[in-house]
Structure 1
Amino acid sequence: MTIILIAVLFILQLLSFYFLIILNTKLAKFKDLEKKQERLMREMDDTISVYLTEMKDENDRLIQELQRVSKSETQTNAVKHEEQIERQKEQSPSLTKEESPVDGSTRLDNEPRFYVPKNIVANAYSRQQQTEAKTEAKVVHSSQQPTNATKKEETKPLTIEQQAVELAKQGKTAEEIAKQLQKGKTEIELLLKFQH
């Protein structure tokens, strides 16, 4: 009877060792799988950040190209417009002129108007506003006296990028910034990467 009991215990012990070995190999597979997933996530993050930087560079280049093209188009349109006016003046010098109520300048009755596309005007206006804001900021920093212009600048709402950068300068983590701005953690991390 004791021999049977010892044999059963021995078999049970062998089975338990077998199950421990199987569990250990499964655990090792899961650890390897976890490491592979982490590596893939890092590679994907790097790939996406490289792709986004390339897209940003491409967009900047496209914007510069469009601005260059729009400037040349505006100049050629202005030249064509002036040539049309000259031709009309030569063809009919006896046309009556009328005062324009807006700017007080004279123009011919049948003179075509010169239109600039809205997006070009909007871009030019925003650039002008930015340069004015920069010059006002320089004047304020040089005089060190608060004026109405600086008070207006302080009341302007910051963009999400500016808020994220400010919070990062305060030492907050990307996760804290994402929670505070109610944005995704990855989005905030990418914003901070592009700002540096």
Structure 2
Amino acid sequence: MTIILIAVLFILQLLSFYFLIILNTKLAKFKDLEKKQERLMREMDDTISVYLAEMKDENDRLIQELQRVSKSETQTNAAKHEEQIERQKEQEQSPSLTKKESTVDSSTSLDNEPRFFVPKNIVANAYSRQQQTEAKTEAKVVHSAQQPTNTTKKEEAKPLTIEQQAVELAKQGKTAEEIAKQLQKGKTEIELLLKFQH
């Protein structure tokens, strides 16, 4: 009986040693994982700090470039301003200019002034809207000429939808790209609209 008890205790002790070894190996794995994570975090910190240092250098270079450009612009603006002042003084000193010379001088001073350009898509949209309003007014005139003058109902012209505009422009012989530019939509969207309309 005591031998059996000793054997059971021995087996239990072996099992406990086995479980202790397993737990120790798992703890070692966790410690390795922690070390790897710490190393990865250090590497990430290093890369982020290098990236931030590069960004700071690039920003400093950009600021220096902008300052250099703004200084050169102010110098050129100052030179232009001085030239204009000198021209005005010359014009005041020599009042015996002929009309032709004065018109030439005024045209050259106009060339030195800055010009403002409007983007093409805005101009195209304004032009298409103007054409549509002209077409609507012509249609109203024709419609009112065909109807008797004593009618009490007035039809309000509804704005054309994008689909209707696309179909109308396609009937005028414009390509899908031209229609897309004019309506400020995607080319594939216009192509699909036109396919579904046919």
TM-score interval, normalised by the smaller of the two chains: 0.3 to 0.5
2:128, 2:182 within 8 Å by CA — same for their partners in 1?
Answer: no
**Cα distance in 2 between the residues matched to 1:163 and 1:35:** 66
Shift of 1:56: 1.6
Consecutive unaligned residues in structure 2, runs of 5 or more: none
Q: Closer, same or farther in 2 for the Cα pair 1:42/1:120, shift >3 Å?
A: farther
Q: Closer, same or farther in 2 for the Cα pair 1:55/1:93, shift >3 Å?
A: farther
TM normalised by structure 1 equals 0.44
> Aligned-residue CA RMSD in angstroms?
17.4
Shift of 1:55: 1.3
Q: Closer, same or farther in 2 for the Cα pair 1:151/1:139, shift >3 Å?
A: same
TM normalised by structure 2 equals 0.44
> Residue deviations 1:3-29, cap 9 Å, x none?
321221122112101111111111101
1:85, 1:111 within 8 Å by CA — same for their partners in 2?
Answer: no
Q: Closer, same or farther in 2 for the Cα pair 1:166/1:108, shift >3 Å?
A: closer
Q: Closer, same or farther in 2 for the Cα pair 1:65/1:86, shift >3 Å?
A: same
Percent identity over the alignment is 95
Consecutive unaligned residues in structure 1, runs of 5 or more: none
What SS class does the counterpart of residue 107 from structure 1 fall into? helix
What SS class does the counterpart of residue 115 from structure 2 fall into? coil
Shift of 1:138: 84
Q: Closer, same or farther in 2 for the Cα pair 1:10/1:110, shift >3 Å?
A: closer
List, as ranges, runs of 4+ consecutive aligned residues in structure 1 with deviation greater than 2 Å.
83-196
2:125, 2:183 within 8 Å by CA — same for their partners in 1?
Answer: no
In the alignment, is residue 84 of structure 1 matched against residue 107 of structure 2?
Answer: no
**Cα distance in 1 between the residues matched to 2:12 and 2:31:** 28
1:178, 1:188 within 8 Å by CA — same for their partners in 2?
Answer: yes
Larger relative CO (CA 8 A, sep 6+): 1 or 2?
2
Q: Closer, same or farther in 2 for the Cα pair 1:119/1:65, shift >3 Å?
A: farther
What SS class does the counterpart of residue 100 from structure 2 fall into? strand
Which protein shows a greater Rg? 2
Shift of 1:139: 87
**Cα distance in 1 between the residues matched to 2:189 and 2:42:** 15
